[in-house]
Amino acid sequence: MTPILYIVIPCYNEEAVLPITAPLFLKKLQDLIAAGKISDDSRVLFVNDGSRDETWNIICSLARQDAHFIGISQSRNRGHQNAVLAGLMEAKDRCDITISIDCDGQDDLNAMDEMVERYLEGYEVVYGVRSSRETDTFFKRFTAQSFYKLLSAMGAEVVYNHADYRLMSARVLKEFANFHEVNLFLRGLVPLVGFRSTTVTYSRAERLAGESHYPLKKMLALAIDGITSLSVKPLRLITGFGAFVAVVSFIACIWALITALCGRAVPGWASTTCIVCFVSGVQLLGLGIIGEYIGKIYLETKERPRYIISERTENMLDQSK
């Protein structure tokens, strides 16, 4: 029996790009169906992430035009990661495989053929990995590469140059549903689920329309979230650095004592000020990092829902597998 594929696509204020990319997704789905690789029950599942523009209306009208298009809508904007999660959790009981992809046409749809092939060979997770970043601006390329380097240096294992374009089997998703954290960083969590995995490389194009929702500020937030939800290495680094500063201070004290005893003590205002400033800076940084983790614990203990689906397209009712 051919597997049922759900292509999960988060959309936030994408009225400019959705009418261009939706037919491309449908075409890819139909090609895969025609090739006999996936079942005709496969679907393109849009997740409207609380858009303030016409996105949800576009999704509804697509669903009326073709039964292969379906959509869910989040009750408000919750961010890319939560939107992808909502789609994957919605899909997991209705299909055998999911592929998550952005809706802006930046990720090469043709990589899906290879992804499905890998699945048919027995892989449960297939990561889409970018082969080049030539189309990105220098700034985007530089920040994105620093992002991966920082993550791996801080002990958060992620697949290099893999964003959220990946195939996951329903079996993996059912296990993944047991990961209850609200601080979501999917590309760091999926490797923790395990199962047989492989990668597929593709080249990334420019956004077909609209603007990126990931300015530097959001990228930094994602990096900090990724590190603090996957690793405690920063806390250890603070401890190590604290110990280092303590040793240096101890040596400095001995040195100061000796110079004082030898009667060569100088007024030394500048050096004292420098040390005070430096040490208080280090303390504040340390507190900030610890605070970041306490904030995470605070949010986790509340166990708030990670997504709330407020609406579904009409053709989604009675489709449970």
Is 128 a residue that touches ligand UDP (CB under 6 A)?
A: no
| Binding span for ligand UDP by CB under 6 A among 10-18, 186-194, 244-252, 261-269 | 10-18
Binding mask 225-264 for ligand UDP (x = CB under 6 A): ----------------------------------------
Residues 21 to 50 in contact with ligand UDP, rule: CB under 6 A = 49
Distance CA 12, CA 20 (A): 15
Closest distance to Mg ion from the beta carbon of 40 (Å): 30
The sign of the torsion formed by the CA atoms of 99, 100, 103, 107 equals negative
Contacts of 170 by beta carbon, 8 Å cutoff, 6+ apart: 91, 92, 93, 95, 96, 97, 98
DSSP 3-state assignment of 43?
A: strand
Cβ distance to ligand UDP smaller for residue 133 or 213? 213
Question: For helices 216-230 and 186-193, what crossing angle results, to 10°?
Answer: 30
Question: Residues in contact with ligand UDP, total (CB under 6 A)?
Answer: 16
**Six-digit token pair at 88?**
């994957």
| Binding span for ligand UDP by CB under 6 A among 79-87, 116-124, 187-195, 239-247 | 79-87
Distance CA 142, CA 126 (A): 25
Q: Which of 4, 5, 6, 12 binds ligand UDP (CB under 6 A)?
A: 12
Is 106 a residue that touches ligand UDP (CB under 6 A)?
A: yes
Distance CA 71, CA 10 (A): 10
| Binding span for ligand UDP by CB under 6 A among 6-14, 109-117, 165-173, 285-293 | 6-14
Is 108 a residue that touches ligand UDP (CB under 6 A)?
A: no
Distance CA 42, CA 97 (A): 9
Residues 79 to 108 in contact with Mg ion, rule: CB under 5 A = 102, 104, 106
Residue ranges in contact with ligand UDP by CB under 6 A = 10-12, 14, 49, 77, 79-80, 83, 102-104, 106, 212-214
